[in-house]
């Protein structure tokens, strides 16, 4: 009997260690299970996004016309990006479009979402569809339609002449002063619907008791909006800003179809500039350098937005 108790006492620690090892082993295996599910997507992303980007970074250090032999350029192409007025203007215009693609749509989306929540109309499904519709339209078709609207004999100028503002009518896309904001307003029209729906869904997650407590304390609608709605939509605003900033910096379709970067370089953006450098000027290395600089600036902006949108 004593021998049996001794053997049982000695075997107990081994059984506990074995159990701990058996628990740890499934946990270690469980860490790699998500990677197995995402492996196909990561493989395609690495082959068709990461690998071409690394190759373009390598090409940016060479002078190459896309056909003949390449010669080593070092950082000359990157120097040209910041020294040549046309290339520098393209980067500045891309960041200027953030006002039209991000700042104005997010502000309008906030106001529309707050008004929609405060006054639930019966026609709200139709209103949501109309506001979001530009987001699902092909951007090439959007550019063609708005180019016709902005033309000298287009609907916009006809309306201005009909209401007695004929002196304001002009060829909007051919004017050095108004071409940039005219194209930027297309981005506002396209992105407002997405921001509106994102923020509207976020308002539905805010606790109604917060608004009730604010009303009991005598807060008005404006103070409720600023102190409850806006802080409660921090994550949704971050998502909206991220998506729209990327759309602003990577813009190509609308600018290429409407102005091609003109008149002059007043609406030139990096996407169109890269296309022209490769297929018109034969400066593939400079185009890759411009694309690399834009991608790094985009990552920096995204990092800042993510830090600002985090919960404090």
Share of the chain above pLDDT 90, in %: 60
Query: Per-residue pLDDT tens for 154-171?
Result: 999 999 999 999 889 999
pLDDT value at 87 more than 80:
yes
pLDDT value of residue 192: 94
Neighbours of 36 (CB within 10 A): 8
pLDDT value of residue 253: 92
3-state secondary structure of 71: strand
| 256 vs 114: which has the higher pLDDT | 256
Region 264-293: mean pLDDT is: 94
Query: Per-residue pLDDT tens for 211-235?
Result: 888 888 888 888 888 888 888 898 8
Contact at 8 Å (CB) between 60 and 292?
yes
3-state secondary structure of 239: helix
3-state secondary structure of 62: strand
Question: What band does 191 get if pLDDT is binned at 50, 70 and 90?
Answer: very high
Question: What band does 30 get if pLDDT is binned at 50, 70 and 90?
Answer: low
Q: How many angstroms separate the CA atoms of 102 and 38, rounded?
A: 31
Instruction: Tell me the fold of 83-309.
Output: MetI-like fold (1.10.3720)
pLDDT value at 79 more than 70:
yes
Could you tell me how many residues make up the chain? 312
H helix intervals, 119-207: 124-136, 139-150, 155-162, 179-203
pLDDT value at 6 more than 50:
no
pLDDT value at 64 more than 90:
yes
pLDDT value of residue 8: 47
């Amino acid at each position: 009997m004593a021998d049996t108790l001794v053997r049982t006492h000695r075997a107990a620690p081994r059984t506990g260690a074995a159990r701990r090892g058996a628990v740890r082993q499934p946990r270690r295996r469980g860490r790699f299970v998500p990677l197995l599910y995402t492996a196909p997507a990561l493989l395609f992303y690495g082959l068709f996004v990461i690998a071409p980007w690394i190759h373009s970074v390598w090409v940016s250090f060479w002078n190459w016309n896309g056909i003949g032999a390449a010669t080593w350029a070092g950082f000359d192409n990157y120097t040209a990006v910041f020294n040549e007025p046309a290339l520098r203007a393209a980067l500045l215009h891309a960041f200027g479009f953030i006002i039209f693609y991000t700042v104005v749509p997010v502000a309008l989306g906030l106001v529309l979402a707050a008004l929609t929540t405060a006054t639930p109309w019966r026609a709200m499904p139709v209103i949501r569809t109309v506001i979001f519709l530009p987001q699902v339209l092909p951007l090439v078709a959007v550019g063609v339609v708005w180019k016709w609207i902005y033309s000298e004999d287009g609907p916009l100028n006809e309306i201005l002449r009909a209401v007695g503002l004929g002196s304001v009518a002009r060829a909007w896309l051919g004017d050095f002063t108004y071409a940039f904001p005219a194209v930027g307003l297309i981005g506002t029209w396209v992105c407002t619907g997405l921001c509106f729906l994102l923020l509207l869904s976020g308002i539905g997650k805010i606790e109604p008791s917060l608004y009730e407590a604010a009303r009991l304390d005598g807060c008005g609608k404006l103070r409720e909006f600023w102190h409850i709605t806006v802080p409660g939509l921090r994550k949704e605003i971050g998502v909206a800003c991220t998506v729209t900033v990327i759309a602003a910096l990577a813009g190509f379709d609308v600018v290429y179809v409407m102005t091609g970067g003109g008149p002059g370089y007043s609406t030139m953006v990096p996407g169109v500039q890269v296309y022209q450098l490769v297929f018109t000027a034969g400066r593939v290395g400079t185009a890759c350098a411009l694309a690399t600089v834009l991608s790094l600036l985009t990552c920096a902006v995204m990092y800042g937005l993510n830090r600002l949108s985090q919960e404090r």
